[in-house]
Every structure is written in structure tokens, then in C-alpha cells.
Amino acid sequence: MSLLTCQNITVAYAQREIFRNVTFSVEKGDKIGLIGANGCGKTTLFNTLTGQVQPLEGGIFCASGMSIGTVAQHSLAGSRKTVYEELLSVFEPLMELERQMEENDRKVFLTDGKTPEYLERQAFLRESYQANGGLTYVARTHAALSGLGFTKEEELLPVSDLSGGQRTKLSLGKLLLSAPDIMLLDEPTNHLDVKSVEWLEDFLSKQTGARIVISHDRYFLDRVTEKTMELRGGKLYTGKGSYTAYKKNRALQLESDRREYEKGMTEIRRIEKMIEQQKRFNQERNYITIASKEKQIERIRAALPELPPPERGFKLRFGEVTRTGDTVLYVEKLSKAYGEKRLFSDAGFTLSRGDRAFLLGPNGCGKSTLLSVIMHRTQPDAGLCRFGVGVKVGYFEQTQRELMEDKSILQALYDRFPRLTLPELRSRLGAFYFRNDDVEKRMCDLSGGERARVALLILILQAPNFLIMDEPTNHLDVSSREVLEQALAEYEGTLLCVSHDRYFVNRLATRIYSFDGDVIRETAGGYDAYLEAQRQPAAAASASGAPKKTNAYLQRKEAERAERKRLSRIERIEELLSTLSAEKEKITETLGDPEVSADYEKVLEYTGRLSAIAEEQQTLEDEWLTLSAD
């Protein structure tokens, strides 16, 4: 059943078209992820669905009585209630039922139960109360507040005392508990720590209503969506599956479309040559043939798949690094506290060459402090840490304080790397999407995303063999995160990183160090392995002071070998597909030769080969999809 249908809607602001001819429908129970680069129009589409923005063309049609809910609808401005009272207000209809039940029970008592109409109303009210969750709404309110990270003490705070982030979380809680027919969630994980995000994922998994979710958290999208819509270049693309499945299927479809497009263009070029030849003959029957061939070209062009414009983005590659010794970082009995708050105690671990280790834990647990201690910028209370032989460290700081300079980007880079000429630096900045006058922007005026790109370029120019990174994806959109992920996956050095991006962690990590109170525990593998270890802590996790080094080392090496083998096979398959595609095009062109087409045996031979190529392509594409899903 369609709850909402959009038909060919077009939206523009001040002569700038945001998107055109967007068409989709939302069925009952749909779980849709809406993705796209920053500024592509995702929030504008939400505002169009809620009526805040009117489309220039097209229409939006809703089922009778259908309700749409957004966080913005649950504004807390001017609220004088406590946090608990504000969230509980979602259930005002149930509280009104309670008041009616109390009043009716009083009437039943006063009439000694001898008035049938009061008894009938008593039964009706109790049935309605229970059917709408009256027995559990108080418990659900407390559970939601706890899940969103509010403490018991914070439940009693006035809403006016909350920070902007806390008010947003409370508005999110009101939206979740109000359970509209369609829920529009715009970056719902922005102000949540990992624990609260996991609670939200679990909450949404139990919801039966439809939802559309905008998020840069790809792991979250994989957990809470089953369909994907992508806004790109003013057009909407849709597909089955959550984020990861959609992107893989989309990549396969694009590759298939490109091959089909090239095949069509090859045929067009062949026919155009025939037309040129016919024109040289300059006879009446030749012009009849020309007209026929031109119509054939028109039919082929009309059937060509539409290829999307190339995506904007920056190029990132760390390149070759100098080799370090086997041990890159050694940490022993490290402790740090601020007053009564102990962040970590007796922390110890060793990073080997090629490790990609991630630090996980709630906000404020000491992850950034540990990195600062390792970089010798913060003094520990006890313990030591030292780098191995030949280690050259590159540090990506979360706050980027050192880049808050009153200099242009170009000047700041030249001051750091005077061996490079200004044209060379302009070229490097161009690869990071700083072009023309952009290089003259002042560092202190840059956005978070722009400053992150400058910081990454500095790291590349430093050519470190050990990267220490604190939340490197914080200000990057999804496409930029994927560029960074690919660069780090190919990076030949060692990595120690703090990140809340679970998708990022899952793709790159070979081991995880998690903060458990003031103890740091080690888990081999990525985020999924870490979650499994959390479920079976006795079997899968060990205190960082006594890790099982030999087993963890062997597991890492085996995993790395398997990963290299997988990536190598994927690359080989792509080469084979390219070769087969070229052979197929050549055979198709040959079959168009009149001399060949007149030879029955040759036609039979070539068509047999085309059939074999199609089977090989299908087999290789199936294998590519399987390997890419690992």
C-alpha cells in the first residue's frame, strides 16, 4: 500500500535547480536510506515532503489520514517542562485516557456499580488504554531517555538548561515515540555516541512504520534501511538493498551501462563510416541508404543508457613509505588521570609494522588523551611509550588547532614545505579540490571539511610511515570518506586511529583497542569482530596488559594474506572483463564487414565466440560480486 507518492517533482532556488523530475513512492513498512553529497538537496527533499517547500512542477500525493513526522516538528523552544515531562508529553492522549478512567471509576464507585452505562464505559476505556500501550508508556519513556544518553539526574533538568545537542536528542526521542506513519530522520546519529546509536538501531528494528533516513553513517544505514535512494546531479536513483548492497549493485550496473554505451557508440561510428562511403558514391540509391542508416543511428542513440556525470571529489594516495622495524610502537603500563577521573591505567600494547589499530570507547573516556600522550604532547602519570626504529610519525589532530592560521592555504603549505615550488603546491592543492582562487582562502576561515582536506594533504607531503589519526572522517561527506578509506587500505605503513565511524573501522581495522572503564582491551579484526567479542567477552577479549600476542599476530597475518589475495583476484577479474569487452566490440565490428557477413562459416565462428564471451562475462561478474561482498 502506497503511503506517499512523488511524481516528477522539480525544486529550484533563485534560478538554481536543486533536482528535477524526482519520482518515487513510499510503501507501508518501507525502510529507505537517502544518500548524496553535501548540498545535493536531501534536506530540501524532506522539506518538500512536509510542505515547507513547494515544488515548481509535479505533485505529492498522500494516503488518507497518513501522518509524516520529523524532528523539526517537535520543537522545544520555550518549554518549561523537565526533560522527562517533555518526552512524556508525547503520550498526552494516554494520559487523558487515564484521567477519564479515574473520573469514570469515581462515578462507578459513587453509584455502587449499579449504572450500566458507567460500567460499559469503564470496559471501553480500559480496553482502549491497554490497546494503545497505556501499561508500558512510562517505562518506554524512561528507556528512550536512557538509550539516548540522558542520566537519571538529567531527566529532572528543565529543558531550557539543555545544550543544543541535548535538545536535538530529546526532539528525536519525541519523534520516535510518536510513531508516525512515515518518519523522516535527517542525520539522527549526529549528537549520539556509539552506545546511543546502537540503541537507536535496535529501537528502529522493532518499528513497523515506514521511514526515510538521511545519514553519513553508512554502518547505521546498513542496519536500519532496506532500500536506497541517491540524489546525484539533480536526479534521483533508486535501488534495492541498504547502503553497501546498493553501492555494489550500482557499481555493477554502471560498468554494464558503460560497456553497453561503448558498444552502441562503436556501432554508431561504424555506420557513420558507411554513410561517408555512400556519400562519396553520390548516386540516388546511395542517398536512400544514407537516410536508412541515419535512422538506424537515431534508434541506437535513443537506446543508449544514460551515464551519470563524473562525481566531484579529491584524489588521495599516500604513496610509498620507508620501511620501519618490526615494532612500530611500544606502550607499557601507561596511566593518566585528571583529578578524580582516571582515564586509563596500566595500559600496554605493541603495534607491529602494517597494523591498522583503532581506539574505541565512549566520549570522554580518554582516547584523544592517549594519542596525545603517545605523541609526547601530554605527560602521563606513569608508564612509557616509545616508537620503533625508523618510524616517521604523521599526526592528524581532531581539533586541527595548528591549522587555525591567518595565512592563505598556499602560503601555509609553502611555509611547511619550502622545497616545493608554488606551481607544484597549486597542482597538489588542485588534486584536493582547491583550485584557482581557492588556494588564497585564509586557513582560519576554512570549513571543517576544507581544513580536513588540507590536513590530509600535509600528511601526504610529510610521507610518514606511521599515521596517528584522531577522528579523520568527522568533517568529510560519504564520498570523501570513501576516498580516504581506499587510500588508507592501500597505505603501506602502520595506522593508529580514533573513530566513531563504524563502517570506516570495519573496513580498515586489523585490531581494536576498546576502553572498558580505565582498562584497555584488545580484539583482533574489525568492528564486527569487536561486537562478537562484546557478546562473548570471556572467549574473545583479553586485557591489554596480557594480550595473546602470538595468536593475534598469526590471525592478523592470515587475514592480511587473505585480503591481499581477494583484492588481487578482484583486480584480475576487472582486467579480464575489460579484455573480453574489447574482444566483443572487435568481433561485433568485424561482423559488420560485408565480406565477413557473407561468409556463413566465419559468421558461425564469430557468433559462437560472442556467446562464449557472454557466458565468461556473466561468470566473472558473479565472482566479482561475491568477492566484493566479503
3-state per-residue secondary structure call for 173-216: HHHHHHCCCEEEEECCCCCCCHHHHHHHHHHHHCCCCEEEEECC
Domain final residue pick, 216, 241, 266: 241
109 has a pLDDT exceeding 70: yes
Q: Give this prediction's pTM.
A: 0.72
In-domain check, residue 246: no
| pLDDT at site 548 | 43
Residue 127 included in any domain: no
Structural domain contains residue 81: no
Same domain, 419 and 476: yes
365 band by pLDDT with thresholds 50, 70 and 90: confident
pLDDT tens digits for 52-75?
999 999 999 999 989 999 987 666
**594, 476: one domain:** no
Domain boundaries, position 486:
327-548
Q: Do 451 and 379 reside in the same domain of the chain?
A: yes
* CA separation for the pair 147, 325 (Å, rounded): 45
List, for residues 574-626, the tens digit of each pLDDT value: 788 888 888 888 888 887 777 777 776 777 777 778 878 877 887 887 777 67
Q: Is residue 126 part of a domain?
A: no
Q: What is the CATH number of the domain that holds 593?
A: 1.10.287
CA distance 604 to 621: 26
- Whether 488 is in a domain gets the answer yes
How far apart are alpha carbons 28 and 35 in whole angstroms? 21
Count up the domains in the chain and report the number: 4
543 and 565 in a common domain: no
Do 554 and 419 sit in the same domain of this protein?
no
Split at pLDDT 50, 70, 90, the class of 112 is confident
Same domain, 273 and 287: yes
Q: Same domain for 294 and 207?
A: no
Same domain, 390 and 500: yes
Query: What percentage of the chain reaches a pLDDT higher than 70?
Result: 92
From 525, 548, 571, give the residue that closes a domain. Answer: 548
Domain CATH for 38: 3.40.50.300
Task: Identify the band that residue 540 occupies on the pLDDT scale cut at 50, 70 and 90.
Answer: very low
Does 600 lie in the same domain as 531? Answer: no
DSSP run (H or E) holding 564: helix 549-591
609 in the same domain as 480: no
**What would the pLDDT profile of 224-269 be if each residue is shown by its tens digit?**
999 999 998 889 999 999 999 999 998 888 888 899 999 999 999 9
Among residues 218, 241, 264, which one ends one of the domains? 241
C-alpha cell at position 614: 557472454
Are 344 and 425 found together in one domain? yes
> For residue 597, how far is the Cα from the chain centroid?
51
pLDDT at residue 159 is higher than 80: yes
**Cα separation values, 333 from 503, 546, 578, Å:** 31, 11, 54
* 553 has a pLDDT exceeding 60: no
Residue 352 lies in a domain: yes
User: Is residue 120 a part of any domain in this protein?
Assistant: no
**457 and 497 assigned to the same domain:** yes
Q: Is residue 379 part of a domain?
A: yes
